[in-house]
């Protein structure tokens, strides 16, 4: 795949209402109180990884950039806000001219992260930054959760192709985002045509059980499919009797049959039996694809089986038990006045229950050991230590309201492979454990 144009091939509507009511009421109060234009810095981070996860995966950054670019209050949106008395007229007038004109830095898409990592930093006036909180978290929490599950599945698959096929198990728009995030995390293709259209992800698919049941005989169904799609197609062989279906499939398509798909039963046992049968029938190059509510553990259990590809749906698009990355968007620094030269002052929430925040504008670096393997995630404020200068993680994404970091989706996918490969080997273990890297805080 080579998506030369990273922009969307479809018109994106305004994202301004992908927000919570209180974001706008805060803006109204800040405008009236004279604090709306104070320079502020917000950061996105998570206090902990989902239980048992060794690393997180940054995904959705490209979608965040699209959302920021299209965050505008069009006349019909302003009419809605006015009719429902969400904010007052001076605030509506301010919203009418809203465009984000600040700066955004963050971890590039596909990078891994750990508790406390400053995944995204948004800097500008308080009013323009606070409005973006909900939509940014909505995208990053969903996409990063799916990408983390996809990454674990890709590790478990050991290089065998993975097909994303969860569109029917989630909201129709979430399905498109999930396919994108899964591709970043290591999946090869998707069944969702909207994801293929929007993001250039390769799509694949042949037939379901209904197609076989439509015909009077299984042979009739296979014949129709092969005549329409050629012998390289994938035939679904578990509608009735698997062994009989495999025999019929090879008789109809010949030894050049592309693949057979198994969607039920004891996949480990069936994969071995089908492989032996295909070889005996002379279809030695015919591949075996397995589906059926797979997750990373089921995929790992099939590592020794003669399986050539996996199709994953429900568990992937729901984050394999962890549908959110639990990221938050917190104010970490702000000026004491509207003066553009006023210094930033660190601020942080202090509360009970483990919801503490660390104030100050942060940088992040991943410190390697003597062998080049990462040994710690270092998060700091102030000056960057000289020995970490070459290992900084954050990059410019938006400068002065202009997007500066659009990239091909393949770049994020390739970056993830490199980032994951730079972690200790224990990062790829599926057994429960703590984050593979500790997070160290330093202050300048």
Site of tokens 């003669």: 306
In this prediction, residue 44 carries a pLDDT of 98
Phi–psi pair at 276, nearest 5 degrees: -65, -45
φ, ψ dihedrals at 42, nearest 5°: -110, 145
* Residue 10: how many other CB atoms lie within 10 Å: 9
Is residue 93 within a helix (H) or strand (E), and if so which, with residue range?
helix 89-96
Burial class (CB in 10 A: 0-12, 13-18, 19+), 326: middle
| pLDDT of amino acid 128 | 97
pLDDT at 283: 98
18-65 pLDDT, tens digit each = 999 999 999 999 999 999 999 999 999 999 999 989 999 999 999 999
Contacts of 202 (CB under 8 A, 6+ apart): 1, 188, 189, 190, 196
Give pLDDT, residue 10.
Answer: 53
pLDDT at 3: 42
pLDDT of amino acid 4 = 40
The model scores a pTM over 0.85: yes
Q: Which residues of the chain have pLDDT under 50?
A: 1-5
pLDDT in tens, 170-222: 999 999 999 999 999 999 999 999 999 999 999 999 999 999 999 999 999 99
Burial class (CB in 10 A: 0-12, 13-18, 19+), 368: middle
What is the phi/psi pair of residue 384, to 5°? -85, 125
3-state secondary structure of 344: strand
Element (H, E) at 274: helix 267-280
What is the residue whose two structure tokens read 């942060």? 362
Cβ(423)–Cβ(152) below 8 Å: no
């Amino acid at each position: 795949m080579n998506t030369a144009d990273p922009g969307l091939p479809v018109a994106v509507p305004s994202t301004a209402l992908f927000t919570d009511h209180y974001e706008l009421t805060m803006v109204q109060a800040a405008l009236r109180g004279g604090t709306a234009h104070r320079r502020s810095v917000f950061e996105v981070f998570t206090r902990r990884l989902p239980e048992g996860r060794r690393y997180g995966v940054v995904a959705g950054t490209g979608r965040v950039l699209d959302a920021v670019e299209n965050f505008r209050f069009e006349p019909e949106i302003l009419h809605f806000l006015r009719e429902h008395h969400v904010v007052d007229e001076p605030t509506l007038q301010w919203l009418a001219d809203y465009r984000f004109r600040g700066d955004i830095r963050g971890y590039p898409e596909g990078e891994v992260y750990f508790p406390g990592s400053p995944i995204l930093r948004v800097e500008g006036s308080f009013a323009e930054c606070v409005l973006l909180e909900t939509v940014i978290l909505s995208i990053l929490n969903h996409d990063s959760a799916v990408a983390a599950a996809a990454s674990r599945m890709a590790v478990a698959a050991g290089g065998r192709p993975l097909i994303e096929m969860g569109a029917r198990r989630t909201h129709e728009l979430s399905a498109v985002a999930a396919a994108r995030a899964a591709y970043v995390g290591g999946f090869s293709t998707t069944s969702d045509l909207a994801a293929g259209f929007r993001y250039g992800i390769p799509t694949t698919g042949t037939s379901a059980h209904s197609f076989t049941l439509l015909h009077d005989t299984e042979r009739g169904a296979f014949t129709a499919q092969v005549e329409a799609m050629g012998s390289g197609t994938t035939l679904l062989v578990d509608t009735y009797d698997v062994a009989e279906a495999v025999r019929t499939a090879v008789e109809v398509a010949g030894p050049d049959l592309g693949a057979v798909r198994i969607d039920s039963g004891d996949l480990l046992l069936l994969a071995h039996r089908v492989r032996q049968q295909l070889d005996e029938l002379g279809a030695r190059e015919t591949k075996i694809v397995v589906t059926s509510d797979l997750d990373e553990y089921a995929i790992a259990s099939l590592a020794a089986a003669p399986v050539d590809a996996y199709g994953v749906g429900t568990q992937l698009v729901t984050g394999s038990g962890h549908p959110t990355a639990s990221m938050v968007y917190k104010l970490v620094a702000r000026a004491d006045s509207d003066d553009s030269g006023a210094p930033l002052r660190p601020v942080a929430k202090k509360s009970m229950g483990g919801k503490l925040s660390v104030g100050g504008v942060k940088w992040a670096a991943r410190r390697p050991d003597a062998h080049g393997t990462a040994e710690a995630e270092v998060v700091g404020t102030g000056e960057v230590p000289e020995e970490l200068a070459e290992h900084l993680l954050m990059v410019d994404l938006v400068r002065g309201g202009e997007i500066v970091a659009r990239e091909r989706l393949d770049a994020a996918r390739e970056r993830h492979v490199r980032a994951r490969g730079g972690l200790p080997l224990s990062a790829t273990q599926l057994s429960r454990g703590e984050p593979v890297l500790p997070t160290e805080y330093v202050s300048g």
